[in-house]
Structure 1
Amino acid sequence: MDWFGVPLVLLATLLVVDISALNSPWRYECIKGYCQKKPITEETESSAMSLAACRLFCLEAGAIWPKPTGNASVGTVLSTINFNSIDVIGANSETSSFDLVRGATKIFKQQIADLVPNGVTPKGGKSLVVTLNIEKPNINSLSLDLIESYTLTVSESADGRIQAVINANNFFGARHGLETLNQIIIFDNLRDELQIARDVQIADGPAYPYRGVLLDTSRNYITVETIKKTLTAMGAAKLNTFHWHITDSHSFPYVSKSKPDLAKYGAYAPEKVYSASDVKQIIQYGKERGVRVLPEFDAPAHVGEGWQNTGLVTCFNWQPWQDYCVEPPCGQFDVTKPELYDAIADIYGDMFEQFQPDIFHMGGDEVNFNCWNSTPSIVDWMQKKGWGLQEADFVKLWDHFQSQALEKVYQKAGKQIPVIMWTSHLTNKEFLLDYLPKEKYIVQIWTTGTDATVSNLLDNDYRVILSNYDALYLDCGFAGWVTDGNNWCSPYIGWQKVYENKPAKIAGQKKYLVLGAEATLWTEQVDSTSLDSRLWPRSSAMAEVLWSEPSTSWREAETRFLIHRERLVKLGVNADALEPEWCMQYEENCPIGGKFNIDNRHL
């Protein structure tokens, strides 16, 4: 039976339901933008709404996260659907995106199944037919200029089936449409039914092309299953880039086809590695959720374990470490060794063969000049060239490495592709234009959002990605680990601050140079047991900023954000709790300055 197959305002007069047939004595009513908990009475029993149903119609954009950028109408009607009668019609087997469509379809159905509590069998309903109209079904990879927009309509056909139609340029846009469709399907726990919003019309697409999460898997090893949960959460928030900081001075868990000894000697344990099959699995898992997996091979600093026997690294684990790097163990390439460039070219080749990236991250941060200056062979090499030993000379040495490494990247990619570098000495005003041509490099900003480096980059028309540590370093706010007190970037960054970290505020009229942003998680104090709660749901706050570019504050997004956190938990992601559950059921009573307690009303 379709309990919500008519407008909600008419239900009380058209339906009569025995209150004993409902699973709870409580219903929810939308009053001034809040779903308020009310007792079910004889007068209200036929129209009683579950909390999930109320949220769909009470909130702007139907509780969808991130908020759609175009028209978003979810109507006023819910229809019951039959989980055993859901069909998705998409690309045919002759197209290159067929496997991705098939994978996304499986995910779509599984997310619906996950809505149903254990031990409950949903009551029957109407068939749901989802049609994916993909204009270019042979696109199977992301690029910075790819159109990720979609439209979604939901209606009831003459034969009584529910029809959902998604139109998109390519698979990735269609997948976003499926994600939105998932979010307007609810489980009504009053009646044990799966229900879908009907009469839906949504037009949607992202404001920024690069929407990422960085995960460091070197400081502490992160399991493949935990990485998959991160990709699941990214797909749910329409984030599209998993930046994999896969190696560092602490460990080398990446199994390079051409240099397998790096992982053999550099991993924490034989089982704590990422094999070729692991990488393949992660890449496919991400693609099916609309996420590219972008590898970073950080150099010439941040190298150490695994390289001990190669003769290509200097100052590895030198003490006192404070003199040679920002944290132990230290380690940098000896960039004067000609054989170094063949070695890194092999690793680039392995990464391009496996990841097939449209962009590549070369790292390039925190090079310690004292490390090089304390290495006699490097000093001798520089002096033979007639160079001094001042900052500008070591920047020149760095460029000696960077220019050769970049050519190896192009060689292995088979073409010139966009390359990302972190802010560093090379991005300082006095060095930027000489050493990092804006035609070749995208700069990822990890300084504060107000740092002069940012304005200089924008003034010189560099494309940038924001990861300013004062808002997007999600490892901040915990205990110190190389000293007492708190870690270097404390305090903890709440989701509200993440939400207010908007590109328009940082870049102003140069906003068009901002490709997007990336939440980062460095794992000195994180492993697989704690990762979910560090990244989620805070990274989802950034996701809405980059997708929707909201002009409103976090306060207007709060209820939808809390709902999205619940959604992540349903997906198996251990997202951090943000408030007592009581506030979810009596949401009008909790916010300071909320629509109800601000004028002391009690309805």
Structure 2
Amino acid sequence: MTGAAFIIVLFLLAFGFAPESVAAGTDELVYGYECQSGKCRKVELTETNFVKAISLPVCRLFCGSSIGTLWPKPTGAVQLEPLMRQVDMSNIEVQIPSGLSRKEKKLWKATEQRWMDLLEAKIPNRKILKEGGYQLTVSIKTTDNGGAPYRLTLDTDESYALSVGSEVAGEILANITAGNFFGARHALETLNQLIVYDDIRREVQVTANASVSDAPVYKWRGLLLDTSRNYYSVKSIKRTLDGMAMVKLNTFHWHITDSHSFPLEVSKRPELSKLGAYTPSKVYTHADVEDIVEYGRERGIRVMPEFDSPAHVGEGWQHKNMTACFNAQPWMQYCVEPPCGQLDPTVDDMYNVLEDIFSDMFKLHNPDVFHMGGDEVSVSCWNSSETIRNWMLKRGWGLTEADFMRLWGHYQEEALKRVDRVANTTNTPVIMWTSKLTNAPYIDDYLDPSRYIIQIWTEGHDKVIQEILKRGYRIIVSNYDALYFDCGGAGWVTGGNNWCSPYIGWQKVYQNSLTKIAGDYEHHVLGAEAAIWSEQIDEYTLDNRFWPRASALAERLWSNPTEGWRQAESRMLLHRERLVENGIGAEALQPEWCLQNENECPVDAYAH
């Protein structure tokens, strides 16, 4: 018997779990687990082995891994003593920091309630839950009460320390210390993963003694959701935020509008959503946005809006005479997918409309970083407009690509002035997608590296990434060959498969090393985002496109593991079950038999 198994057996005996209890205690339960050679082995329960058998979640916490089943993998020291205590579910107390304002208390209480809901989700049947156990007290202390401890920024310290002890008779004490709310919230997620439901003894259990020191490697850990191509209900967006919170992702990049629809209410420009939404019910009102932003904050997530421009603009802008190639046909001559549409940078009043859009976005989101899009601007679209051509020629410009990049530079300068005006500062970092404008020589002419962050969507080995990095730009990585989660479907404007096929497995996401992509310039990498562009996805297929692949990204960004995906596979299978347990329709990765028979499915497990 291993040391871990021996201690667990002593624990079971100490609490009166005698072999004869198998008949009365398990009913239909047939199997338990034993730790053998560092692997959890499934065993048939009998009177002889019952005292040694433990549930799969308990076994996997201590058997063969120094970090148990934690996801994402912590970056600091982890100590888990192989001893469990029953938790009295009616006797749990969460002690939040003192000296809080009413608004801050509300945030903490919402966070506490969510944590309690996660505990409840572990229990398959309350009626058979064994009563009694230890009181669980969670004490939370934060040290940073100055500045803006409840606003996530690029400078926020998300580290935490967690210790669990059982020195006091009848009580388990979990101490959480962190610089601020966000680190403390991450600690609660970790503590939740140290609490399991034992289906053999029908009780909730927590590790009796544990300590975790943890902090993320990358500041920016995100998911992008496009809500223009297809609409997503507030409920489905919240479900995505729930999954993100479980794996400590911290940025929900909301690509809220595009040429297909304009589903956002703009207070001074109501015609944008009236003309641009698919139906009146498919509009995000100010109340909806405020609800989502606060829901994200409770889960340690910034909700960052993107207004993609000057391209990817169409529906909602009818009758304004502020666009070029609006729904032009044949569309493939003017844009990459229908419907086409770009803003006309020569129309002065168009910038007033932008200011009204930006104003609402800043009021609703209070973003520390703002995304201005810049994706897939088409020179041929602008060149199709006689008004634009005449405006350029009147100023002595030509009609070459360089001249149209100058036009784009003009747009960017004027639009940025409006961002600064509504933000009331010239310091808000601005994100732009890689494009012609981020290529030399245009990037040097029009984008200030002290102000702009570049989001990379090209392939991870693209040489342009190094060209951007060596100029001093900070980057966010969304290389489509590993992080576009809409890849792998049928074509919708062509036959065959869609443009970025094949489907990307979680293993490739896990292996997508930002260190390798950035090379010598890794210090300029803020992090990464996985993206769902919604041409062929809506809320009914959302969960299994994001999950559990987004969890693979979460571990890559939190821990930057040096080991390959294989070491994470058994944890990933259990983590996927945790997602499902909490109402997220995560994709199945293997037959459940592989979950219950650890390491017996991989081919390379038998290589030696």
TM-score normalised by length of structure 1: 0.96
Q: Give the counterpart of 1:20 among 10, 16, 23.
A: 23
Which of 389, 393, 400 lines up with 2:410 in the alignment?
400
Please list the CA deviations of residues 435-459 of structure 1 after superposition, one character each: whole Å capped at 9, or x if unmatched. Answer: 1110010000000011111010111
Structure 1 residue 360: Cα displacement: 0.3
Runs of 4+ in structure 1 deviating by more than 4 angstroms, as ranges, are 11-15
Aligned partner of residue 92 in structure 2, secondary structure: strand
- Partner residue of 2:206? 196
2:191 is the counterpart of 1:181 = yes
1:458 corresponding residue in structure 2: 469
Matched, 1:598 2:607: yes
> Residue by residue, what CA displacement relative to the aligned partner does 1:237-271 show, whole Å, maximum 9, x if unpaired?
10000000000000000111121110011000000
**2: distance between equivalents of 1:6 and 1:583?**
26
CA contact (8 A) 1:301 1:366 kept: yes
Residues 316-354 of structure 1: CA distance to partner in whole angstroms, max 9, x if unpaired? 110000000000000000110000111101110111011
Contact 1:419 1:442 in 2 (8 A): yes
> What is the correspondence of 1:98-113 to structure 2 with a 5 Å cutoff?
98-113=105-120
Q: Say which of 127, 137, 149 aligns to 1:139.
A: 149
Structure 1 gaps, min length 5: none
Matched, 1:301 2:311: yes
**1:123 is matched with which residue?**
130
Contact map agreement 2:227 2:254 (CA 8 A) in 1: yes
Q: Quick one: distance in 2 between partners of 1:78 and 1:283?
A: 37
1:463 CA drift (Å)? 0.3
Partner residue, 2:166: 156
Q: Which string of whole-angstrom CA distances, capped at 9 and with x for unpartnered residues, describes residues 472-530 of structure 1?
A: 00000100000110000000000000000011111122111100000000000000100
Contact kept? 2:430, 2:453, Cα under 8 Å: yes
Return the alpha-carbon distance in structure 2 between the equivalents of residues 37 and 574 of structure 1: 26
What secondary structure is seen at the aligned counterpart in 2 of 1:46?
coil
Mapped partners of 2:137, 2:12: distance in 1: 29
Q: Which range moves more in the overlay, 229-238 or 86-95?
A: 86-95
Tell me how far apart the structure 2 counterparts of residues 220 and 118 of structure 1 sit (CA, whole Å). Answer: 37
Give the match for residue 90 of structure 1: 96
Q: Offset of 1:93 from its aligned partner?
A: 5.9
Of 576, 580, 597, which aligns to 2:587? Answer: 576
Q: TM-score, normalised by structure 2?
A: 0.96
Q: Contact 2:19–2:49 at 8 Å: present in 1 too? A: no
Instruction: Give the match's secondary structure for 2:373.
Output: coil
Report the alpha carbon displacement of residue 47 of structure 1 after superposing the two structures with TM: 2.8
Quick check: 1:100–1:140 contact (8 Å CA) kept in 2? no
Separation in structure 1 between the aligned mates of residue 128 and residue 268 of structure 2, nearest angstrom: 52
State the Cα deviation string for residues 411-447 of structure 1 (Å, max 9, x = none): 1111121110000011112211111110010000000
The answer to whether the aligner puts 1:54 opposite 2:64 as a matched pair is no
Letter paired with 1:38? V
Counterpart AA for 2:75? T
1:76 corresponds in structure 2 to 82
Distance 1:6 1:146, change over 3 A: farther
CA offset digits 1:22-44 (Å, max 9, x no partner): 32232212233321101234342
Q: Which moved more, 1:217-226 or 1:99-108?
A: 99-108
Residues 427-506 of structure 1 aligned to structure 2 (within 5 Å): 427-506=438-517
1:211 and 1:8 map into 2 onto residues whose CA distance is 37
What secondary structure is seen at the aligned counterpart in 1 of 2:176? Answer: strand
| Structure 1 residues 171-220: Cα deviation after superposition (integer angstroms, max 9, x where no partner) | 00000000000111100011110000121010001000000000000000
Question: Retained in 1: the 8 A contact 2:570–2:599?
Answer: no
Give the SS at the match of 1:60.
coil
1:206 match: secondary structure: coil
Contact 2:9–2:51 (CA<8 Å) still a contact in 1? no
Q: Which residue of 2 aligns with 1:563?
A: 574
Q: Which residue of 2 aligns with 1:7?
A: 7
Question: How high is the sequence identity, in percent, across the aligned residues?
Answer: 50
2:522 is aligned to 511
What does residue 537 of structure 2 align with? 526
Matched with 2:273 is 263
Amino acid at match of 2:80: V
Matched with 2:285 is 275
Counterpart CA distance in 2 for 1:411 and 1:589 is 61
Once residues 308 and 109 of structure 2 are traced to their aligned partners in structure 1, the CA distance between those partners, rounded to angstroms, is 35
How many residues of Structure 1 are paired with residues of Structure 2 in the alignment?
A: 594
Contact 1:57 1:74 in 2 (8 A): yes
Distance 1:333 1:128, change over 3 A: same
Contact 1:245–1:296, Cα closer than 8 Å, also in 2 = yes
C-alpha separation in 2, matches of 1:79 and 1:119: 18
Q: How far did residue 564 of structure 1 move?
A: 1.1
Q: What CA distance in whole angstroms lies between the structure 1 residues aligned with 2:239 and 2:125?
A: 21
Correspondence for 1:291: 301
* Cα distance change on mapping 1:13 and 1:251 into 2, 3 Å: closer
Q: Do residues 351 (structure 1) and 361 (structure 2) align? A: yes
d(CA) in 2 for partners of 1:5 and 1:478?
A: 46
Ranges in structure 2 where 5+ consecutive residues have no aligned partner: none
How far is the alpha carbon of 1:11 from its aligned partner?
Answer: 4.4
User: Contact 2:505/2:549 (CA < 8 Å) preserved in 1?
Assistant: yes
